[in-house]
Structure 1
């Protein structure tokens, strides 16, 4: 009886050991489809990281200004087209038109300036823009000085002026505002009263 019981126990031990080994092989086999729920929880698929590519695009904007002062009027219209090369770099080109007129008891003048511009900008952080811009303007004007008891003095002029601006602007969504400096500034030829000038830009 004891020998029979011992044989039965040995046989059952062999069966359970074989089943345990088979179960372990199945759970660790990556090609086995019917894995246990315990193994399925530990064998989760690793998430695939999506790689987003920057889409180059065009945007449009520019500068617009209007001012009135003692008998004078200044108008600035400067549309621009920008090409976004990357999230940090953009380039662009545009046209600039400036009208300036003045009249009082001593004289008057009218001046028109028109020309192209090309620029490049770098944004080290989303809210800061560093830029370099070339602008060439053809300026045509005429003035008259009133002289009592004599003929008035008239003056007509026409010339081309080059400017290179280095600027820094704060960017907030579709608007930028800052300052720029003309490294080629010539007070006798520039249409601006100073080498420093404020700049406000719009992007759409």
Structure 2
């Protein structure tokens, strides 16, 4: 079962990477335009955004940074890349470093609705400090999020579901996740 999951994830990664490459390289304009005009056309269709997170409590710290960028292929379809890093620490229990990247595709059938698919690959480095000696648990985690949200200009609020979620997953506590997505 795990081998099948890995093969599916590898296949999806390859397919999404190829689609992203083709869609970013396909909007080349006529040959009579200068290189600077072509570059300007490309950058007009690029948007940047991402997320920041900070959670602090009694002996608990959670810091997250997740920048991303998308290329608007047309008014309905966008594709992009993101990176993520987070640090989580619970005093006298554990600390965790999580980092990786994602491929994201967005579809806007009408201006107010945004559908999304995001393939995320994270490296997780956990150290459980409550045990003596300390226990290290390092692994890769793959997530495939399918989502839908309400969109108003460059802000989308919605809900997504990790179809690869398992209860033994130590990255996300559940499959459903609300999100706020902002691109400038």
TM-score (norm 1): 0.65
Identify the residue that residue 182 of structure 1 maps to in structure 2.
162
The one of 149, 152, 156 aligned to 1:169: 149
Contact 2:46-2:71 within 8 A present in 1 as well: yes
Judge conservation of contact 1:63–1:199 (CA < 8 Å) in 2.
no
Match of 1:198 in 2: 178
Pick one of 99, 118, 125 that aligns with 2:103: 118
Deviations 1:84-103 (A, max 9, x none): 00101111111011211101
Corresponding residue for residue 66 of structure 2: 78
1:70 and 1:180 map into 2 onto residues whose CA distance is 30
Q: How is 1:93-104 mapped onto 2 (pairs within 5 angstroms)?
A: 93-103=81-91
Residue in 1 that maps onto 2:51: 63
Equivalences, count: 142
| SS of 2:93 mapped into structure 1 | strand
SS at match of 2:150: strand
In the TM superposition, residue 157 of structure 1 has moved relative to its aligned partner by: 1.4
* Distance apart, 1:114 and its partner CA: 0.5
Change over 3 Å in CA distance of 1:73–1:187 after alignment to 2: farther
| 1:122 Cα deviation after fit | 0.7
Length-normalised TM-score, structure 2: 0.72
- The one-character-per-residue Cα deviations of 1:160-199 (angstroms, maximum 9, x if unpaired) are 0110000111112221111110000123234111111111
After superposition, residues 21-100 of structure 1 pair within 5 angstroms as: 57-100=45-88
Q: Distance in 1 between matches of 2:123 and 2:94?
A: 17
Mapped to 2, the partners of 1:132 and 1:117 lie a distance apart of 10
For structure 1, the 5+ residue unaligned runs are: 1-54, 147-151
Aligned partners of 2:101 and 2:120 also within 8 Å = yes
* Cα displacement (A) at 1:70: 4.1
Q: What are the ranges of 5 or more consecutive residues in structure 2 without an aligned counterpart?
A: 1-40
Tell whether the 8 Å contact from 2:95 to 2:129 is kept in structure 1 after alignment.
Answer: no
Is contact 1:119-1:133 (8 Å) kept? yes
Residues 69 and 134 of structure 1: CA distance in aligned 2, closer, same or farther (over 3 Å):
same
Q: Residues 194 and 203 of structure 1: is their aligned pair in 2 closer, same or farther, counting only changes over 3 Å? A: same
Aligned to 1:159: 139
